[in-house]
Amino acid sequence: MLVVKEILEHPEETIRRLAVKHFDAKEAVERVIALDSTRRTAQQSLDASLARQKKMASEIGAKMKQGLKEEASALRDEVARLKEESIRFEEEKKHAEEAIEELLLTIPNTPHSSVPEGKGAEDNEVVETGGEIPELPADALPHWDLAKKYDLVDFELGVKITGAGFPVYKGKGARLQRALINFFLEQALKAGYEEVEPPYLVNEASGYGTGQLPDKEGQMYFAPLDNLYLIPTAEVPVTNLYRDVILEEKELPIRKVAYSACFRREAGSYGKDVRGLNRLHQFNKVEIVQIDTPERSYETLNKMLDHVRGLVRALGLPWHVLRLCGGDISFTSALTYDFEVYSAAQKRWLEVSSVSNFESYQANRLKCRYRTADRKTALCHTLNGSALALPRIVAALLENNQTPEGIRIPEVLVPYTGFDMIQ
């Protein structure tokens, strides 16, 4: 949620920056300014009324001591009127505050100055590339055929049990999943992250805190009986650990890592290339979350990029990094980089990580603050990144490492799998 002070001080700049996200903020900004004027007027009137009541209360006592009962009675009547007036001013202020907050929930985060113009994924900027794309024979198999050949993933059985997008991992396929999770977690621990195991269901307050609610695109699974939502990413419960928390500056940065299953309806994705592991409703992911000061947050973002870069390099996958354009960046993010790996049999790039700085947008919703050295409170900056999402990593590993003898396992994973080939 944007900070009202920033909107009031820089309305034209706010409108200009939000236009990069193809969001016309003019009407919303004008409405926020008008509502804040109403709020401030009500507050001033309330303060003046309360001050008059306080002054009259002392005057009533003095009049009574002087035996001026009629004058004291008149003052009492005036105080009673002022009290009713104060209630009205308080209600006006409250209604204005509620209207401002409701309006702010509809306004996306302002993008960082480095976010490029653009309408969609085709306008994202490739900022870095690494690794070598393997040359596979003409009869190379896509991962869904490899999964069937080696009995690694059963998509049909998942349909039977639940539905499309809920695969069953079997045998060495399941062990490869577990190996990747453990490898990613261990690498995060070595990088100074603390592991947490969060709930997979969250309440409305948590969803609002990180910006998943209001669910504008209908992407979250909802359990209406208990009014709980299945998490689309561990970012939601992990970041909400610090909802309504005031941290000490010396505690920052906060570094957390969590493995979780993730659940996404992927509404509106039908018709896209969703075959195999490319797009699922349930998948596993290791998530890294940091909370830091505004002064350090972009340095922290770069360190998180370094961490993810190290993971894809260790797996021996061809990769590139995209800076997302205004039309493709999320509602809540100020700056996002996507990591994609090349799936050689499909001959396409697959997104495996998004690393984002939300600046103070989530922190304002969460009321996540820190106490500075001079004992003032300020909003934190929040960041997160996939490190990594498993399904497309598995897809690329299976395709890129296929040989006539079987599928080679990257050396870094062998201690976790207990085998170096899938045969």
Question: Positive or negative CA dihedral for 308, 402, 121, 390?
Answer: negative
Tokens of 23: 């969001």
- Rounded Cα gap, residues 417 and 272, in angstroms: 33
Three-class SS state of 152: coil
Could you tell me which residue, 73 or 185, shows the higher pLDDT?
A: 185
289 confidence band (pLDDT: 50, 70, 90): very high
- What pLDDT does 244 receive? 98
272 confidence band (pLDDT: 50, 70, 90): low
Q: Does a cis peptide bond (omega within 30 degrees of 0) precede residue 391?
A: no
- Could you tell me if 291 and 311 are in contact, meaning their C-beta atoms sit under 8 angstroms apart? no
Average pLDDT, the chain: 94
Three-class SS state of 320: strand
- Rounded Cα gap, residues 309 and 100, in angstroms: 40
Average pLDDT over residues 206-219: 92
Average pLDDT over residues 115-121: 95
- Taking 60 as the threshold, does the pLDDT of residue 271 lie above it? no
- Could you tell me if 256 and 194 are in contact, meaning their C-beta atoms sit under 8 angstroms apart? yes
- Give percent above pLDDT 90 in the chain: 87
Within 8 A by CB and 6+ apart from 341, the residues are 312, 317, 318, 319, 349, 350, 352, 392, 393, 396
- What pLDDT does 63 receive? 66
- Taking 80 as the threshold, does the pLDDT of residue 338 lie above it? yes
- Could you tell me if 336 and 330 are in contact, meaning their C-beta atoms sit under 8 angstroms apart? yes
- Rounded Cα gap, residues 28 and 31, in angstroms: 5
Each residue's pLDDT tens digit, 2-61: 999 999 999 999 999 999 999 999 999 999 999 999 999 999 999 999 888 877 877 777
* Sheet strands side by side (includes 254-263): 125-130, 319-323, 335-343, 348-359, 381-389, 282-292, 254-263, 194-195
CATH 3.30.930.10 placement within the chain? 121-422
- Taking 70 as the threshold, does the pLDDT of residue 392 lie above it? yes
- Taking 80 as the threshold, does the pLDDT of residue 72 lie above it? no
Average pLDDT over residues 235-244: 98
116 confidence band (pLDDT: 50, 70, 90): very high
- What pLDDT does 270 receive? 55
- What pLDDT does 268 receive? 57
What secondary structure letter does DSSP report for 346?
T
As assigned by CATH, the class of the 121-422 domain is alpha beta
Q: Which of 165, 371, 198 is nearest to 276 (CA)?
A: 165
Three-class SS state of 409: coil
CATH 1.10.287 placement within the chain? 4-104
Determine the residue type at 293.
T
134-164 burial by CB neighbour count: b if 16+ within 10 A, else e? bebeeebbbbbebbeebebbbbeebeeeeee
- Give percent above pLDDT 70 in the chain: 98
Each residue's pLDDT tens digit, 348-367: 999 999 999 999 999 999 99
Determine the residue type at 44.
Q
CA 263 to chain centre: 15
Place of tokens 């490190």: 387
- What pLDDT does 107 receive? 96
What secondary structure letter does DSSP report for 227?
T
- What pLDDT does 39 receive? 96
Predicted TM-score (pTM) of this structure? 0.92
The string of DSSP codes covering 70-136 is HHHHHHHHHHHHHHHHHHHHHHHHHHHHHHHHHHHTTSPPPPPTTPPP-SSGGGPEEEEEES-----
- What pLDDT does 313 receive? 98
Determine the residue type at 358.
F
- What pLDDT does 329 receive? 97
- What pLDDT does 280 receive? 96
Average pLDDT over residues 102-113: 96
- Per CATH, the number for 4-104 is 1.10.287
- What pLDDT does 41 receive? 96
- Rounded Cα gap, residues 403 and 423, in angstroms: 10
CA 236 to chain centre: 7
Average pLDDT over residues 334-361: 97
- What pLDDT does 397 receive? 98
Picking from 182-191, 269-278, 284-293, which range would have the lowest pLDDT averaged per residue? 269-278
Place of tokens 């990594």: 388
